[in-house]
Amino acid sequence: GAVVSQHPSRVICKSGTSVKIECRSLDFQATTMFWYRQFPKQSLMLMATSNEGSKATYEQGVEKDKFLINHASLTLSTLTVTSAHPEDSSFYICSARWGVTLYEQYFGPGTRLTVT
Amino acid sequence: ELKVEQNPLFLSMQEGKNYTIYCNYSTTSDRLYWYRQDPGKSLESLFVLLSNGAVKQEGRLMASLDTKARLSTLHITAAVHDLSATYFCAVVPLDRGSQGNLIFGKGTKLSVKP
């Protein structure tokens, strides 16, 4: 089956620093990747949609200059949280899909970010 | 504004009992998903429902979809402790179908007690 990995699984960083989270599709080519954020005991909120080779589409209220998304290849998308603050602490989950009509979306294991 | 509403949000059940989780959505969608999430973990795909009247079953879980009513149900039969988790439904709005991004309900936290 399709596998999506994320790295790191957990990261602790200090306020003001930047942290990069990688999302990889291991056995398929992901034309589209999605980034979600989940606060404790809450649902998943879509942050942005990225298509390989083009700029990401951000959801309303998500700062594109703060959450930099790059989808440079068909198997890798990265999310960089710049100048992190404690309120950015969250569980970040990526998902990937192949093609336009394929209905399945495969989720990564998530990255727990803690900003101190 | 697209809304995906689940109820109940919290469900405490005894082992062996049956119960149903409901998922209503406010926009036209051609697919509905059910996921399971264990604490500290990511999402596990349970069901994908693609058409009106679709019914899928896996073990003690059965999901159905009524696109006319914009309603999906997740029925739990003879619950066991291992089913304790948070269950999310999600839809892909047709107006954004080409992107395939999911809109999630708030989740139902299920606790099965002996």
Q: SS3 letters for chain B?
A: CCCEEEECCEEEEECCCCEEEEEEECCCEEEEEEEEECCCCCEEEEEEECCCCCEEEECCEEEEEECCCCEEEEEECCCCHHHCEEEEEEEEEHHHCCCCCCEECCCEEEEEEC
pLDDT recorded at residue A84: 97
- Inform me whether the pLDDT recorded for A54 exceeds 90: no
pLDDT band at A99 (very low <50, low <70, confident <90, very high): low
Instruction: Kindly list the residues of chain B whose beta carbon comes within 8 Å of any beta carbon in chain A.
Output: 31, 33, 35, 40-43, 45, 48, 50, 88, 92, 98-107
Mutation site for B-interface testing, chosen from A58, A95, A107, A112 by largest number of B Cβ within 10 Å: A107
Average pLDDT taken over every residue of chain A: 92
Residues in B closer than 8 angstroms to A97, CB to CB, are: 100
pLDDT recorded at residue B93: 79
How would you write the pLDDT of chain B (114 residues) with one tens digit per residue? 789 999 999 999 999 999 999 999 998 887 899 999 999 999 999 999 988 889 999 999 999 999 999 999 999 999 999 999 999 999 987 775 456 788 999 999 999 998
* Residues B75 and B18 sit within 8 Å (Cβ to Cβ): yes
- Inform me whether the pLDDT recorded for A102 exceeds 80: no
- Does A97 lie at the interface with B, CB-CB under 8 angstroms? yes
**Chain A, nearest residue to B47 by Cα:** A104
- Inform me whether the pLDDT recorded for A100 exceeds 70: no
Closest to B45 measured CA to CA, from B61, B69, B29, B67? B61
Exposure b/e, A77-107, CB count within 10 A at least 16 = b: bbbebeebeeebbbbbbbbbbbeeeeebbbb
Residues in A closer than 8 angstroms to B94, CB to CB, are: none
pLDDT recorded at residue A98: 78
Residues in A closer than 8 angstroms to B40, CB to CB, are: 112
pLDDT recorded at residue B27: 83
pLDDT recorded at residue B96: 54
pLDDT recorded at residue A52: 83
pLDDT recorded at residue A64: 93
pLDDT recorded at residue B52: 87
Per DSSP, the residues of A47-72 read EEEEETTSPPEEPTT--TTTEEEEEE
- Inform me whether the pLDDT recorded for A25 exceeds 80: yes
